[in-house]
Amino acid sequence: MASSYFLDSDVILDFLLKRLPFNIGAKQIFQLSFNHRVKIFVSSLAITNVHYICTKAVGKEESLLLLEELADLVKILSVGEKEIFSAMKSGFPDFEDAIQHFTALQDSQIEGIITRNTADFRKSKLPIYSPESFLALFK
């Protein structure tokens, strides 16, 4: 069974919008998912944020196409009341990152969170990986 990881919005955007130089690592992470070496989870909040940013960058129609591409490679976890209230009480420096963290905790098979913003996840109960440190696990 493939290992499971939760992906933060920044890495998703790097992949979908081909943001240099970060898209290189992001593409490799999604390639691992495509090859069934890892299972990637994202939150419904990430999907909304990604849609908003992609729409500004490439327009609504292209943004929706990108989200369809993404949905083929990930499993989407819902953000609910439990995650919101846990995030409020967590002491995370960034509320959105706290929501992402508590959403990742929903699924016990998730082994860590991949983000370029590791500093805001210091209070995480899960291991935190930059794209580079995550990819190093597969070398």
Q: What integer pLDDT is reported at residue 139 of this predicted model?
A: 82
Mean pLDDT for all residues in the chain: 95
Q: What integer pLDDT is reported at residue 1 of this predicted model?
A: 63
| pLDDT tens string 89-111 | 999 999 999 999 999 999 999 99
Percent with pLDDT over 90 in the chain:
97
Average pLDDT estimate for 39-55: 97
Sorted by where each starts, the structural domains of the chain and their CATH numbers stand as 3-133 (3.40.50.1010)
Q: How many residues does the chain have?
A: 139
3-state secondary structure of 99: helix
Average pLDDT estimate for 57-61: 96
Average pLDDT estimate for 24-37: 95
Single-letter residue type at 29: I
Its pTM surpasses 0.85: yes
DSSP-derived pairing of the beta strands 128-129 and 38-43: unpaired
Of 44, 50, 39, nearest to 5 (Cα)? 39
Percent with pLDDT over 70 in the chain:
99
Dihedral in degrees, nearest 10, Cα atoms 105, 67, 1, 79:
20
CA dist 27 to 13, 43, 68, 80, Å?
A: 11, 19, 16, 29
Average pLDDT estimate for 46-62: 96
| pLDDT tens string 75-92 | 999 999 999 999 999 999
